[in-house]
Copies of this chain bind each other. A is one copy, B any other.
Amino acid sequence: VSVTFPRGFQAAGITAGLKPSGRPDLALLVADQPCEAAGLFTTNAYPAAPVKLSRSRLAAGGKVKGVLVNSGDANAGRGTTGDRDALSTTAAAARALGVEPDQMLACSTGVIGGAFPAGKIEAALPELLGALSPDGGASFAESICTTDTVVKLAQAEVGDIRLGACAKGAAMVEPHLALATMLVFFATDAPTGSNDLGELARLALKPAFEELTIDGCKSTNDTVLLFASGAADAAPVQASSPRFDEMVDAARAMADSLTHQMAADAEGGTKVLLVDVRGGGSDAEAQIVAKAIANSVLVKTAIFGGDPNPGRFVQALGSSGVAFDPAGATIRLGDVVVFSGGAVSPGYDEGGAAHAVVSAPEITVSVDLGPGLGRARAVGCDLSYEYVRINAEYTT
């Protein structure tokens, strides 16, 4: 199931020997017939070679056969050599699948500036194609993982239309990596065009994934790809139709589920931190505040330690740079008001109420900035010894 829950897709995941660990590392998702596709990509000034390739192929229009994913090397920070390798591996996959080279997209995750194993990938293509199956979603989801400890899956039905998705991240890919790559694959059998699919991505997926912040680090490889096979027995879905709105709602719920799954599986993470902000001049301002709190290392270490001290949240709120009336803001841990009227609430932890909130595996911090229609959420996690260990102890 998962990404192959919708009709018209096949997927596979195998071990091609790209990872020293010997775990699955090469994956392929294809539509039975070239299909509609859309994507969202990292804004890092150093996008990896597969990001540039996929982005430019989608921008050129035309139908897409599928995507080749490897989880052994990021193919990033390699200049034109990286571009050549992204071209050659997707061309080899296209040849094997009998489609045009520009109908194949690519994603990679792994070491930045490493030696991309193009030869091993090309040599493994026959085995990979041989493993393709309409039930291949599970092994696909497993093969895109790096330090992930569980696969991340979501699916939904909207009338006769099916949606399926999987994701990896946003834990860092390997200890010696510089990035916390997120890869997300959405498939649907809705009969819809690539522009409508792009609109679905902007309305349902972009806002959800922008809420996620594991360590505030924007990867060179972050990618969200969407595919629509049109294989459902359903009327065409356009951005103006009610069915489209239902798909947006379903896709948003799937994306929210995936971001929670990723935050819960974050490297070294022991708790999920949700920061809800209301008020402020705009959603964008509310999001700056939410991220300032969710990314504060002082907040993250306090959450790890189960310390409800309101000062940490006050400090982070006050340092966001967003204009608001400080005396009109309220901070809640769960339902407990810990700060309002410019002062920490006396007795906020009476009966251990605030301690109980920050000791739970999922913690919601709510900030009301006072007047203003802004609204935003950040989905983050705590900062633990294990995070430091994973990212410090490995030495290249």
Chain A residues near B (Cβ < 8 Å) = 43-46, 74, 76-82, 111-113, 172, 176-180, 215-220, 296-298, 301-302, 304-321, 324, 326-327, 339, 341-344, 349, 355, 383-385, 387-389, 391-396
Q: A178-B298, A315-B219 are in contact. Are A307 and B44 (CB under 8 A)?
A: no
Q: Which residues of B contact A176 (CB under 8 A)?
A: 307, 309, 311
Using CB atoms, name the residue of chain B closest to A307: B395
Question: Cβ of A309 and Cβ of B218 under 8 Å apart?
Answer: no
Question: Cβ of A305 and Cβ of B393 under 8 Å apart?
Answer: yes
Q: Which residues of B contact A113 (CB under 8 A)?
A: 309-311, 314, 339, 343-344
Extra pairs beyond A79-B341, A178-B313, A217-B315 (5, CB < 8 Å):
A46-B315, A112-B314, A113-B343, A178-B315, A302-B392
Q: A218-B315, A318-B218, A344-B113 are in contact. Are A389 and B385 (CB under 8 A)?
A: yes
Question: Cβ of A311 and Cβ of B343 under 8 Å apart?
Answer: no
Q: A218-B319, A309-B178 are in contact. Are A388 and B384 (CB under 8 A)?
A: yes
Q: For the complex, give the distance between the alpha carbons of A233 and B298 in Å.
A: 48
Of the candidates B45, B180, B324, the one whose C-beta lies within 8 Å of that of A326 is: B45
Question: Cβ of A220 and Cβ of B179 under 8 Å apart?
Answer: no
Question: Cβ of B217 and Cβ of A310 under 8 Å apart?
Answer: no
Q: Which residues of B contact A319 (CB under 8 A)?
A: 43-45, 217-218
Q: For the complex, give the distance between the alpha carbons of A113 and B313 in Å.
A: 11
Question: Cβ of A343 and Cβ of B217 under 8 Å apart?
Answer: no
Of the candidates B326, B387, B396, the one whose C-beta lies within 8 Å of that of A308 is: B396
Question: Cβ of B343 and Cβ of A112 under 8 Å apart?
Answer: no
Q: A178-B311, A342-B79 are in contact. Are A297 and B383 (CB under 8 A)?
A: yes
| Shortest Cβ-Cβ A-B pairs, 10 listed | A112-B311, A113-B344, A178-B311, A305-B392, A79-B343, A178-B312, A218-B319, A301-B391, A46-B318, A45-B318
Question: Cβ of A215 and Cβ of B298 under 8 Å apart?
Answer: yes
Question: Cβ of B307 and Cβ of A220 under 8 Å apart?
Answer: no
Q: Which residues of B contact A327 (CB under 8 A)?
A: 79
Q: Which residues of B contact A309 (CB under 8 A)?
A: 112-113, 176-178, 396
Q: For the complex, give the distance between the alpha carbons of A324 and B297 in Å.
A: 28
Using CB atoms, name the residue of chain B closest to A326: B45
Of the candidates B44, B216, B324, B344, the one whose C-beta lies within 8 Å of that of A112 is: B344
Using CB atoms, name the residue of chain B closest to A321: B43
Using CB atoms, name the residue of chain B closest to A396: B309
Q: Which residues of B contact A314 (CB under 8 A)?
A: 46, 76-77, 112-113, 178, 220
Question: Cβ of A318 and Cβ of B391 under 8 Å apart?
Answer: no
Of the candidates B80, B111, B301, B315, the one whose C-beta lies within 8 Å of that of A311 is: B111
Question: Cβ of A317 and Cβ of B45 under 8 Å apart?
Answer: yes
Mind listing 13 A-B residue pairs with CB under 8 Å? A77-B342, A111-B311, A113-B344, A172-B298, A176-B307, A176-B309, A177-B312, A217-B296, A297-B391, A305-B391, A305-B394, A384-B388, A387-B388
Q: For the complex, give the distance between the alpha carbons of A366 and B133 in Å.
A: 50
Within the complex, what minimum Cβ distance (angstroms) separates A337 from chain B?
Answer: 13
Of the candidates B45, B307, B308, B391, the one whose C-beta lies within 8 Å of that of A298 is: B391
Of the candidates B112, B302, B341, B387, the one whose C-beta lies within 8 Å of that of A301 is: B387
Q: Which residues of B contact A317 (CB under 8 A)?
A: 45-46
Of the candidates B217, B218, B342, the one whose C-beta lies within 8 Å of that of A46 is: B342
